[in-house]
Amino acid sequence: MKDDRGSPTAVETFARQIVAIAEHGDRAAFGALFGHFAPRVKAYLMRLGAPAAVAEELSQEAMLLVWRKAAYYDPRKSQASTWIFTIARNLRIDAIRREAHPELHPDEPALTPSQPPAVEETIAANQQEQRLRAALKVLPPDQAEVVALSFFADKAHGDICRDLGIPLGTVKSRLRLAMKRLRAALGDVL
């Protein structure tokens, strides 16, 4: 549901659906996730230059990975959209760029200590996406542009600055300023 996008209820529902897949192979939950995320993953891949047919295949592939990796998803650590974004990102790097995206080791003991307690996290997860979305909407356009290009251009910032005709230092300082604003908006939620 478009109106439901990012609402606390929707955010929580997606997380619960991934957990339901992990716990009892819930195909109905998978169907709901597929309906919402597969078309967005396809749009993400096309935005990064994949032809529609390739994006169609890979978005199904990404959803298969959601099914297979569901047990690794920890709703206390990330939201469903964040987790599915990383799956789509890594799959694209693998299938299109023919490289791997090096990741933290899954058994990394230090993966957990900086996380707040579970009860607070449930509340935090509900607010984080909304706060981030609101903060992204009010970013100055020049900052919003380089943030978007960081996700949708598959280009090093050295190439992005040439495309935009601005110095590399300007790209870097815009990202630094954007991050400062977004971090302030998240406040103590993260």
Partner 1 sequence: MTPTHHPSDATLFEYGGGSLSEPLALVVVTHISMCTECRDRLAEIEAIGGVMLEDLEPEALAPAAFARTLARLDEGATASSREIPRPASGGPFARSPLAPYLGDVADLPWKRLGRGIETVDVVRRRGRETRATLFKVARGTPLPSHGHRGREMTVVLEGKLYDEGGAFVAGDFIEHDADIIHRPSIPADEDCLCLIAVEGRLKFQGVFGRLIPLFVDI
Encoded tokens for 12: 């929580």
Cα 4 to Cα 91: distance, rounded to the nearest angstrom = 27
Between 103 and 165, CB nearer to partner 1:
103
Q: Considering beta carbons, is residue 165 or 175 the nearer one to partner 1?
A: 175
Q: Cα(148)–Cα(139) distance, rounded to whole angstroms?
A: 11
> What's the Cα-to-Cα distance from 58 to each of 16, 52, 90, 128, rounded to whole Å?
24, 10, 11, 28
Residue with smaller CB distance to partner 1, 62 or 165? 62
Place of tokens 């406040």: 187
Do the beta carbons of residue 130 and residue 6 sit within 8 Å? yes
- 184: Cα separation from own chain's centroid: 19
Closer residue to partner 1, CB minimum distance, 165 or 173: 173
CB of 183 to partner 1, least distance (A): 6
CB of 119 to partner 1, least distance (A): 19
User: What tokens appear for 104 in the block?
Assistant: 């933290």
CB of 136 to partner 1, least distance (A): 6
Which of 80, 89, 81, 79 lies closest to 59, judged by CA?
A: 89
Measured from the CB atom, is 158 or 165 closer to partner 1?
158
Contact 70, 48 (CB under 8 A): no
In angstroms, give the least distance from the CB of 11 to partner 1.
Answer: 9
Query: Residue 100 CB, nearest distance to partner 1 (Å)?
Result: 5
